[in-house]
Structure 1
Amino acid sequence: MKHIRTLDGVRGFAVIIVMLFHLEIPGFSLGWAGVPLFFCLSGFLITGILLEQKQQPFKEYLGGFLLNRLLRIFPLFYAYLLVNYLFLKATGQSAAGYIWFILYLQNLYIGITGTTPGFVIQTWSLAAEEQFYWLWPLAIFFLKGRVMVKVFIPLIIFSLLARSFIYHASGNNPYMFNATLLSCTDALILGALFAKIKDYKSAPRVAFWMLLAGLALSAYAVITTGLSAFWLPSGWVGKCGYLPTSMAMVFTAIIFYVYHWDKQAISNPLASVLENKFLVYTGKISYGLYMWHLACFFAITVIGRKFGVDNHSLIFFIIALLFAYLVSTLSYYLFEVHFLKLKRKARRTVTSPNGIVL
């Protein structure tokens, strides 16, 4: 799929609102919505690539995909795990449950226990997403084009129902509600659905009605539940469990329109905002920001206490964010970029039927 600069801005926006949520900045209790936004974007982009690469022999198709994912995700993830583990040992804290993280099953551990060893709670979404991508390439390769949409829509509905079932079956555990692979499948497949239909004539109309429905449901959930309830899962999960799905409907529609505007060379204020250099750069280093930001915020909190800086003050927010950007920039250029070069080197150059060079 052709690189779309505006989608980098979408990715940048997603990680910014997640960081503002973790800083507990007033008004950003819904900042965790950056995670389902990531899921929708990932489903859209990666499914688009898989659809274009279906023409390859199965071995090259699957092997190339898995190698690319491994080189992009695992090096920084395990480097961060190592840094976190060394911190735990240096401070005499328990590393109980670390094997779950090493095996990339931390979403289940966090869902079951509601706790994490150190600053790794954000990694639950990485595990859920990667578990999805252990299976999804097989579905895309073996499903015929004409039946994909017929399969995708029931899977989205099934994910919504499964999330509610898991919540009740776990004794109303609000962390299990979000943590499992099935809990996240609706957002990922909504993105995948529009990767499949993005060039259909009906796609803009479908996206429009989905956007309206998603906005209406999401607004109803927020109004009836109260904005302050969304800081913790326990405050809203039992009241509006459909919210992640309705948000994913909104996000996927917006992602589609960003793609559509780029394809049709349509300019508008939202596209201009998303093409802002700061947002695009944030999207470029978003993986590092997502991984490092909690550790950075903790470090600034410790330093701030020594200087009497309140961790809910404006100066704290600014310094914490600047430090996260600094660390993530260094992480990208001194560490991640070497694996990205290996990824590009390992990727075979393939020309898809629509002429896109991958």
Structure 2
Amino acid sequence: MKNLEIEKKTEPSNRVDALLALRSFACLIVVISHCNPPRNGIIYKQYDLSWLIFSHGGIGVWIFFCLSGYLMGKVFYTQRYTINVPGVINFWRNRILRIFPLYYFAVLILSVFVYSDILKIENWGYLLRIITFTYNNSLPINWNGAMWSLSTELQFYLLVPFIYTCLSPVLKHTKNILITAIVIIILIFIARYIVWVGFRNQINLDMQYAYRYWYTPLITNLDCFLLGFLVNSLIISQEKHLLYFNKLVSYHQTKLKVISIFLLIILYLVTAYHLYHQELFLLPNRDGTGIRTATSFFIWQPLTALITSFFIFVFEYDVYHYHNNNGNLSLAGILKNPFKSIDFFGNVSYGVYLWHIPVFQKISPIFTTQVPIEAFYAKLNATLIISILLATVTYYIIEVPFGKRKMYTVNANK
């Protein structure tokens, strides 16, 4: 692939990494949703504004999936890995080094100190599903529910080289890319519709059916991954028409970035409002029940993928080949630009994602205030602080050392 000749920046910038900020946003959405915000907790002049803190955890997960699809595609488009046996094995090896060490460390710690029932001999079959990445959050015993998404992620990683081989030769023009995106959305919509027709009553009544047949399977999340993947093709295709494209996009660059951020905020607000008023989330008599509306089932996933893909595109198109020219995260960098602390949260977000549910479950009994909203904020802050501390420790003693073992193509853009 012939890289676009763009003048390289000689000095690393100290700007906030947009993708790490997006990862931080997604992680925060998930953590808030798992801290059980109270209904009727924020009342202003007889208006119930509690929905503002009812973040839709699924939105955070789908943002993660879309971002993962983009990044996994990018490592092949930028020739960090080659499409041959050594290159593909290297890709899978590096994904293992990224996911496995912290994941299995968390499984060990949680099995011994938090969810010890999983070690009983009658539950070994469930433990096997967890360690083989076939966990789908529908086990009959208590476990860290957030871990299901790692199973879906890993299954996607297995397909990435084949997806790149099949799609990259035909995605040379913008028209083909947009048609492919539409086809993907339609095909996955059909897959969800088949599930909806076959299990609609069960999905309405029992969240376990929603987890098992809609929320966790790779096939019903594939549009999130693939739309993110297609952003690479869109950026590469535009390089052939750079003069026209730069005039069009560069002129409106700031506006487009503001619009993409605004769309993410609107997505949060609309889905939170819908979760509170239509799905009746955390209403006492709906505990454990499933998905009420077709909007949740059919609309939010592709909409999240489209908005996230747009965000990635407008922030990445002009730094696509030089994304790492952003300087190393350091205390000095944070002091110069306090917003760089968002990058730190993004870096440790994998650990925060793994630790926050067991942390929340352990600290919840400590906060016994009779004011629900006060208890919620106390639990949320404590969960975030403790999870970030644990994630920071495991980041430096597990993630960083294993990350240094990764291997790339010798002449790749690093």
Report the TM range for the smaller structure's normalisation.
Answer: 0.7 to 0.9
| Letter aligned with residue 34 of structure 1 | G
How far has the Cα of 1:294 moved from its partner?
A: 0.7
Mapped contact 1:6–1:275 kept (Cα < 8 A): no
Task: Measure the CA separation in 1 of the matches of 2:81 and 2:402.
Answer: 26
How far has the Cα of 1:89 moved from its partner?
A: 2.7
Task: Report Cα offsets for 1:172-203 as digits up to 9, x if no partner.
Answer: 33222211111110111110111111241569
* Aligned equivalent of 2:186, options 157, 161, 175: 157
The equivalent of 2:198 in structure 1 is 169
Report matched runs for 1:101-180 at 5 Å.
101-107=130-136, 110=137, 114-115=138-139, 117-147=141-171, 149=177, 151-170=180-199, 171-172=202-203, 173-175=209-211, 176-180=213-217
Mapped contact 2:348–2:392 kept (Cα < 8 A): yes
Task: Measure the CA separation in 2 of the matches of 1:283 and 1:193.
Answer: 23
**Structure 1 SS opposite 2:363:** helix
* Aligned equivalent of 2:281, options 214, 219, 231: 231
Mapped contact 1:8–1:280 kept (Cα < 8 A): yes
Change (3 A) 1:218 1:278: closer
Mapped contact 1:13–1:279 kept (Cα < 8 A): no
Report matched runs for 1:1-358 at 5 Å.
5-25=17-37, 26=50, 27-32=52-57, 33-53=59-79, 56=82, 58-87=84-113, 88-89=115-116, 95=123, 97-107=126-136, 110=137, 114-115=138-139, 117-147=141-171, 149=177, 151-170=180-199, 171-172=202-203, 173-175=209-211, 176-199=213-236, 200=238, 227=277, 229=279, 231=281, 234-241=290-297, 242-260=299-317, 262=319, 276-304=339-367, 312-343=375-406, 346-351=407-412, 357-358=413-414
Further displaced range: 145-154 or 30-39:
145-154
**Structure 2 SS opposite 1:169:** helix
| Structure 1 residue runs without a partner (length 5+) | 266-273, 352-356
Change (3 A) 1:215 1:165: farther
| Letter aligned with residue 22 of structure 1 | H
Change (3 A) 1:220 1:37: closer
Change (3 A) 1:66 1:198: same
Change (3 A) 1:224 1:79: closer
How far has the Cα of 1:167 moved from its partner?
A: 3.3
The equivalent of 1:268 in structure 2 is none
Which has the larger Rg?
Answer: 2
Further displaced range: 97-106 or 144-153:
144-153
Give the number of equivalent residue pairs: 335
Task: Measure the CA separation in 1 of the matches of 2:193 and 2:69.
Answer: 22
Mapped contact 2:126–2:139 kept (Cα < 8 A): no
How far has the Cα of 1:142 moved from its partner?
A: 4.2
Task: Measure the CA separation in 2 of the matches of 1:49 and 1:308.
Answer: 51
How far has the Cα of 1:329 moved from its partner?
A: 0.6
**Structure 2 SS opposite 1:198:** helix
Mapped contact 1:39–1:188 kept (Cα < 8 A): yes
Task: Measure the CA separation in 2 of the matches of 1:104 and 1:186.
Answer: 21
The equivalent of 1:270 in structure 2 is none
| Letter aligned with residue 67 of structure 1 | R
The equivalent of 1:269 in structure 2 is none
How far has the Cα of 1:348 moved from its partner?
A: 3.4
Task: Measure the CA separation in 1 of the matches of 2:390 and 2:274.
Answer: 40
Change (3 A) 1:70 1:76: same
Change (3 A) 1:63 1:193: same
Task: Measure the CA separation in 1 of the matches of 2:75 and 2:81.
Answer: 11
Task: Measure the CA separation in 1 of the matches of 2:338 and 2:67.
Answer: 16
Mapped contact 2:360–2:379 kept (Cα < 8 A): no
How far has the Cα of 1:155 moved from its partner?
A: 2.5
Mapped contact 2:55–2:271 kept (Cα < 8 A): no
How far has the Cα of 1:216 moved from its partner?
A: 9.2
Change (3 A) 1:63 1:160: same
How far has the Cα of 1:165 moved from its partner?
A: 1.6
Mapped contact 1:36–1:247 kept (Cα < 8 A): yes
Richer in helix (by share): 1
**Structure 1 SS opposite 2:279:** helix
| TM-score normalized with structure 2 length | 0.69
Task: Report Cα offsets for 1:261-291 as digits up to 9, x if no partner.
Answer: 65699xxxxxxxx992221111000110111
Mapped contact 2:78–2:321 kept (Cα < 8 A): no
| Letter aligned with residue 16 of structure 1 | L
